[in-house]
Amino acid sequence: MDIPWWRDAVVYEIYVRSFADASGDGVGDLAGVRERLPYLAELGVDAIWLTPFYPSPMADGGYDVADYRGVDPLFGTLGDFESLVTDAHELGLKVIVDVVPNHSSSAHPWFQAALRGEHRDRYIFRDQPNNWQSTFSGPAWTKLPDGQYYLHLFAPGQPDFNWRNPEIHREFLDVLRFWLDRGVDGFRIDVAMGLYKAKGLPDVKDQSFKAVSPVWGQPEVHEVYRDWRKLLDGYPGERMAVGEVWTDSSEDLALYVRPDELHQSFNFAWLQAPWSPTAFKKVIDDTLAAVPFATWVLSNHDVVRHRTRYESADPGTGLMRAKAALLTMLALPGSAYLYQGEELGLPEVKDLPPEARQDPVFIQSKGELVGRDGCRVPLPWSADGGSLGFSPDGVAPWLPQPAGFSALSVAAQNADSASTLAFYRRALACRRELVRSIPYTLEWLDSPESALFFTRGSLICAVNCGTEPVRLPPHDGVLLPSGPLDGDLLPPDTAVWLRARS
């Protein structure tokens, strides 16, 4: 069997609002993405994933969709989208778009009709609410003037669809067709373990993003993905789908990637693991045992950037560990998802002024939860200028950039062969050369307790999570280190790719 493109793909997540602003309104847009496609091709990724750019009141940064078949004027036009896909394909980049099937925006014509009392069975209306909470804090129910309540597992502006109504199934199949006909190579499915709620909507004791609870992970959801898979398989080219599935176990995750369901599912266990060889090894073993096609992800638009997550009391460790984790991740079998700005080593921005914050998590919790704006700060492209090249001169970006972003800008790092950006380019180029010639299996090698050594055919990867240097395993040359080596010693917080002895 030919290896499908997505099996080993490195996919770059573009949070469109914060990538590049061509129109000059302070918000990133599709034309901005299009202009920067050569940067992404040069970086060496295989595909881009675009977060929602559909018409939206932006109650949740576009994850509240008012029209599933259009482009919000904030982001451009359908013509801009089509040109972006054409250019991306010419550069050899695949394009994945977000689909948001768990909920629409309250501005969606169907919800507007429901508010008028028409077709309320497209959403979830009740005379009495249950005890479910919104993921963004506060109750998951909002009362209408006529006395009924509607369910929203996220913001009140994101009413949950009723997937027990066949009309919703037909509608989403048609939405997928709309974008497939415009040449997209795949979909990222938002809250893929949502969609169905347990019949009778029973109260719950604990409502974390659990694999199976009355709120998430109902078995009926798999029928939806079987239908979607049939649709994708009916199109020419290898169209794919990756699910945003938060679960507690790799066995549950595996249910979503059965051969007739989704192609991939994000492996958040990797992102949640602390900087520890035992934690990393467990996630790797569990993942490879459970799923046929693994994915790995360190950061995205919903979590604290991994450079900051890995920071210890010792300043500088965060970036060293982030680079070592990247090298380790890129050596694992499967595909890797990168988040914009990690190639620059951007940290989480912690000190955003409260009045600048826009995340509904911050707003709904009245500032009790800081929310996700800190990983969504617009990218620094140039070392100077009001918005560091994000917007045209004189335009303020939608979130302020901290002073430290100038030194981390693309322009500053382009000029420095020791930069994080240069390291990412080297790692991605080296991986591209190797990845199809090494087996899709991993063998552990003996290593000191504080380190992990593994091999895949001609490649050895070693990572040192401890505080003392460790001796490298026997090898036949260094391919790429994440930081300086000390002779035959691998320093703390460093990883390396080595050529295996033949």
**Closer Cβ to ligand GLC, 72 or 190, answer by number:** 190
Under rule CB under 6 A, residue 398 binds ligand GLC: no
Residue 449 burial by Cβ neighbours in a 10 Å radius (0-12, 13-18, 19+): exposed
- Contacts for 451 with CB less than 8 Å, ≥ 6 apart: 277, 462, 463, 464, 465, 466, 470, 490
Strands 451-456 and 335-339: unpaired
Between 190 and 342, name the residue whose CB sits nearer to ligand GLC. 190
Cβ nearer to ligand GLC, comparing 104 with 464: 104
- Return the number of the residue (190 or 373) whose C-beta is nearest ligand GLC: 190
Q: Which residues contact 396 (CB under 8 A, 6 or more apart)?
A: 26, 386, 387
Minimum distance, C-beta of residue 449 to ligand GLC, in the bound complex (Å): 36
Binding flag, residue 80, ligand GLC (CB under 6 A): no
Q: How far is the CB of 15 from ligand GLC (least distance, A)?
A: 9
> Residue 18 to residues 147, 307, 380, 394: CA-CA distances in angstroms?
40, 18, 10, 17
> CB of 301: closest distance to ligand GLC in angstroms?
6
Tell which residue, 451, 502, 456, 452, has the closest CA to residue 476: 502
Sequence letter at residue 232? L
From 191, 294, 465, 498, residue interacting with ligand GLC (rule: CB under 6 A): 191
Does residue number 66 form part of the binding site for ligand GLC (CB under 6 A)?
no
Q: Give the shortest CB-86-to-ligand GLC separation in angstroms.
A: 27
Residue 300 CB, shortest distance to ligand GLC, in Å, is 7
63 near ligand GLC (CB under 6 A): yes
User: Least CB distance from residue 302 to ligand GLC, whole Å?
Assistant: 5
Q: Is 244 a catalytic residue?
A: yes
Q: Which residues pair with 460 in a beta bridge?
A: 455, 498
Binding of residue 195 to ligand GLC (CB under 6 A): no
In the shown chain, the binding pattern of residues 399 to 418 toward ligand GLC, with x for contact by CB under 6 A and - for none, equals --------------------
Report if residue 190 touches ligand GLC, rule: CB under 6 A: yes
- How many residues interact with ligand GLC (rule CB under 6 A)? 9
Q: Of 13, 21, 46, 60, which one interacts with ligand GLC (CB under 6 A)? A: 60
Token pair, residue 130, equals 């249950």
Between 8 and 160, whose beta carbon lies closer to ligand GLC? 160
Residue nearest to ligand GLC (CB): 63
Catalytic residue among 8, 21, 60, 244: 244
Confirm whether 190 is a catalytic residue: yes
CB of 108 to ligand GLC, least distance (A): 13
Q: How far is the CB of 299 from ligand GLC (least distance, A)?
A: 12
In angstroms, the CA 329 to CA 332 distance is: 5
State how far the Cα of 370 lies from the Cα of 352, in Å rounded to an integer.
Answer: 10
Instruction: Give the type of residue at 216.
Output: W
Does 302 sit near ligand GLC (CB under 6 A)? Answer: yes
Write down the least CB distance from residue 337 to ligand GLC, Å.
12
Asked if residues 452 and 462 have their Cβ atoms less than 8 Å apart, the reply is: yes
Strand partners of residue 94:
47
**CA pair distance 350, 447, nearest whole angstrom:** 37
Burial class of residue 203 in the structure, from the number of CB atoms within 10 Å of its CB (0-12 exposed, 13-18 middle, 19+ buried) = exposed
Per DSSP, the chain holds a count of helices (H) and strands (E) of 14, 18
- The verdict on 13 binding ligand GLC (CB under 6 A) reads no
CB 133 to ligand GLC: min, Å: 14
- Which residue, 131, 186, 194, is CA-closest to 159? 194
Cβ partners under 8 Å of residue 278, min gap 6: none
- H-type alpha helices, 160-244: 166-180, 221-233
Query: If binding is defined by CB under 6 A, does position 154 make contact with ligand GLC?
Result: yes
Q: Please state, in angstroms and rounded to a whole number, the distance separating the CA atoms of residues 128 and 468.
A: 60
Contacts within 8 Å (CB) and 24+ apart, 368-374: 368/137, 369/136, 369/137, 372/301, 372/302, 372/303, 373/349, 373/399, 374/304, 374/305, 374/348, 374/349, 374/350
Choosing from 80, 190, 302, 343, the catalytic residue is 190
- CB-wise, 50 or 490, nearer to ligand GLC? 50
Residue 301's identity, in one-letter code, is H
Nearer to ligand GLC among residue 65 and residue 331 (C-beta): 65
Beta carbon nearer to ligand GLC, 336 or 498 = 336
137 in helix, strand or coil?
A: coil
Q: Which of the residues 97 through 116 are near ligand GLC (CB under 6 A)? A: 100
For ligand GLC, the closer of residues 239 and 301 by Cβ is 301
Of the pair 63, 75, the CB lying nearest ligand GLC is at: 63
Which residues in 244-263 contact ligand GLC (CB under 6 A)?
244
Catalytic residue numbers read 190, 244
Judged by the rule CB under 6 A, the positions of this chain that interact with ligand GLC are: 60, 63, 100, 154, 190-191, 244, 301-302
